[in-house]
Chain A
């Protein structure tokens, strides 16, 4: 059964709105009483992925879905793509602009942080765009926090 199905626009280079989608994802999970631990995992991955679109792409969309025991996040942008995914995954490697760095990003840790948080990650990229699919398994313990 699908319990959540939300979509967000992500605006390129707009550091004021950056993080809005992740913030809504976090608040939604909080209102559904997931455990803090689980919420943090999802939020950190969502935020890094959202920031990636803001600082590197021409814009994109995020989708947030919960179906039974799985939470899915999908981030799709309209290019210019990641020329070398292996290199982009290397901790510390970054092609971020000076403006991104002034906003506290471009440490080259985005993908490392995402990988640490998710249960499964798939990425497809070509010059027309990048699609990042993240999957989180929901365990019984992730659901039981009441606050």
Chain B
């Protein structure tokens, strides 16, 4: 599924102003409100390209969601449950080159729909 399709289908607001590629293929996702969990699981990914094609789904509309994505090379963060980011969060996303989206869907419903479309979760490597 492309980034453009996700934005259209789930009526996402695009908060960041950095230009992005609507044709970018999204293949993986991870969802959490706990950034340590995101760091723990996503940092175990060794294959190149996976995190770059991932979206971080979170209800945490703070700078730390953006920082976490930045540390992991994740380029897209999608806020759920209609959370509206503060201006400073949007500014940080722009500074870090991260596309910041938001949808009214809940975390479970967005995740379920993306999974149906073939986007798979990132799991910890043992």
Contact = CB atoms under 8 A, between A and B. Distances in A.
A109 B40 contact: yes
Consensus secondary structure, chain B interface: helix
A18 B48 contact: no
Interface size class of A (residues with CB under 8 A): 20 to 34
Interface string B78-104: 000000000010000000100000000
Contact of B60 (A37, A103, A107): A103
B72 interface: yes
A112 B43 contact: no
Consensus secondary structure, chain A interface: helix
Interface in A96-137: 103-110, 112-113, 116-117
Interface residues of B, number: 26
Contacts of A18: 63-64, 67
Nearest to A35: B48
A37 to B, nearest CB: 7
Interface of A: 15-16, 18-19, 22-23, 26, 36-37, 40-41, 43-44, 46-48, 51, 103-110, 112-113, 116-117
Interface of B: 33-37, 39-40, 43-44, 46, 48, 51, 58, 60, 62-65, 67-68, 70-73, 88, 96
Given A44-B72, A116-B40, 17 more contacts: A19-B63, A19-B71, A23-B71, A23-B96, A26-B70, A40-B71, A44-B43, A104-B33, A104-B36, A104-B65, A104-B68, A107-B34, A107-B40, A109-B36, A109-B37, A113-B36, A113-B39
